[in-house]
């Protein structure tokens, strides 16, 4: 069995809601979902990544046989009027277990980890740590968006985390360039890279890239020129960059069809040359999808 594919985690946001700038198909139909999970098992992809906030994702996964998979889920933001954080966390996790039809979670990540820095942060950490001690979840961690936020949490909170999930791709290399990736690895934390395709933007042909991205045309030109010179596909490039990085433990990939999953599995075998430095960016307008204004 190909060891490269063991590095993949199957993201499930598309199973619960329409997602991605390059996804024309919307939410994955339930019949397709079953085929995708069966194929993932055949490919030795053993972990699923979901979240309470991913629409119907937990519910539709729970309608499938998950005995061959480990499941990582995420807590969303604690409500402002929450009077008992410990009880709230317990209720949310028990709800996830019920929807997923599993006895425990492989991992529980905080979707809004900045709350650890505010009032109730210590109680929040103790609540998830208690779930780990009880075996309700096997590992705890953070799902990050901002790197300054991650710096603050790692440097200022006396806490032990098992997993950090953060965006990293050919255009967005801040996790590595900031020194954070090495710091996490030195602390024995498993790092899961997500947004490998930048919501599918890095897989689009130049002709189909939305006009919003015109200010960064030079980066796209350089990127596609590099792909052409090296005779590799965009999919091979995106996966190869992360797969060959020694400090990335897992790569979270979402699919909306069986064909996509097969393409990803095949592309994981590709070896690529070092990508050009000039395509990376720290411009949030480009690398942070929440800042995109595609329909303005």
Higher pLDDT, 222 or 27: 222
Minimum mean pLDDT range among 10-24, 37-51, 128-142:
10-24
- Mode of pairing for the β-strands spanning 250-254 and 8-11: parallel
User: Which of 264, 251, 236 has the alpha carbon at shortest distance from 175?
Assistant: 251
3-class DSSP state for residue 49?
strand
Indicate whether 143 pLDDT > 50. Answer: yes
Q: Are 139 and 132 in contact (CB under 8 A)?
A: yes
Indicate whether 200 pLDDT > 80. Answer: yes
**How many whole angstroms separate alpha carbon 70 and alpha carbon 217?**
40
Going from N- to C-terminal start, the domains of the chain cover 3-291
Residue 38's pLDDT is 94
Tokens encoding 140? 């705890």
Higher pLDDT, 75 or 23: 75
Residue 127's pLDDT is 96
Tokens encoding 53? 């906030």
Indicate whether 20 pLDDT > 70. Answer: no
Indicate whether 211 pLDDT > 90. Answer: yes
Q: What are phi and psi of 264, to 5 degrees?
A: -65, -45
pLDDT digits (tens, 9 = 90+) for 50-79: 988 888 889 999 999 999 999 999 998 888
Residue 295's pLDDT is 63
State percent of the chain over pLDDT 70: 94
Per-residue DSSP letter, 79: P
Minimum mean pLDDT range among 23-37, 156-170, 218-232, 253-267:
23-37
Task: Please give the mean pLDDT across all residues of the chain.
Answer: 90
Does domain 3-291 match CATH 3.30.365.10? no
**Under 8 Å CB-to-CB from 193, ≥6 apart: which residues?**
165, 166, 167, 168, 169, 175, 242, 245, 248, 250, 251, 252
């Amino acid at each position: 069995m190909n060891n490269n594919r063991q590095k993949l985690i199957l993201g499930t946001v598309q199973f619960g809601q329409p997602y991605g700038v390059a996804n024309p198909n919307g939410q994955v139909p339930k019949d397709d979902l079953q085929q995708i999970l069966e194929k993932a098992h055949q490919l030795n992809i053993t972990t699923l990544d979901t979240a309470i906030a991913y629409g119907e994702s937990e519910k539709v996964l729970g309608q499938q046989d998950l005995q061959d998979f480990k499941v990582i889920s995420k807590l969303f933001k604690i409500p402002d009027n929450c009077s008992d954080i410990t009880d709230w966390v317990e209720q949310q996790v028990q709800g996830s277990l019920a929807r997923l039809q599993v006895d425990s979670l492989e991992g529980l990540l905080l979707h809004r980890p900045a709350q650890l820095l505010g009032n109730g942060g210590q109680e929040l950490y103790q609540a998830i740590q208690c779930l780990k001690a009880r075996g309700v979840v096997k590992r705890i961690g953070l799902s990050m968006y901002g790197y300054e936020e991650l710096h603050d949490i790692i440097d200022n909170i006396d806490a032990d985390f098992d997993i950090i999930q953060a965006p990293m791709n050919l255009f967005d290399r801040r996790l590595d360039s900031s020194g954070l990736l090495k710091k996490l690895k030195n602390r024995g934390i498993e790092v899961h890279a997500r947004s490998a395709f930048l919501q599918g933007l890095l897989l689009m042909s130049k002709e189909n890239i939305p006009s919003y991205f015109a200010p960064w045309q030079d980066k796209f030109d350089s990127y596609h020129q590099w792909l052409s010179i090296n005779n590799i596909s965009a999919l091979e490039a995106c996966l190869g960059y992360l797969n060959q990085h020694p400090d990335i433990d897992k790569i979270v990939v979402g699919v909306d069809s069986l064909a996509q999953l097969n393409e990803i599995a095949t592309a994981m075998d590709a070896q690529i040359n070092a990508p050009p430095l000039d395509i990376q960016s720290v411009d949030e307008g480009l690398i942070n999808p929440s800042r995109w204004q595609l329909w303005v």
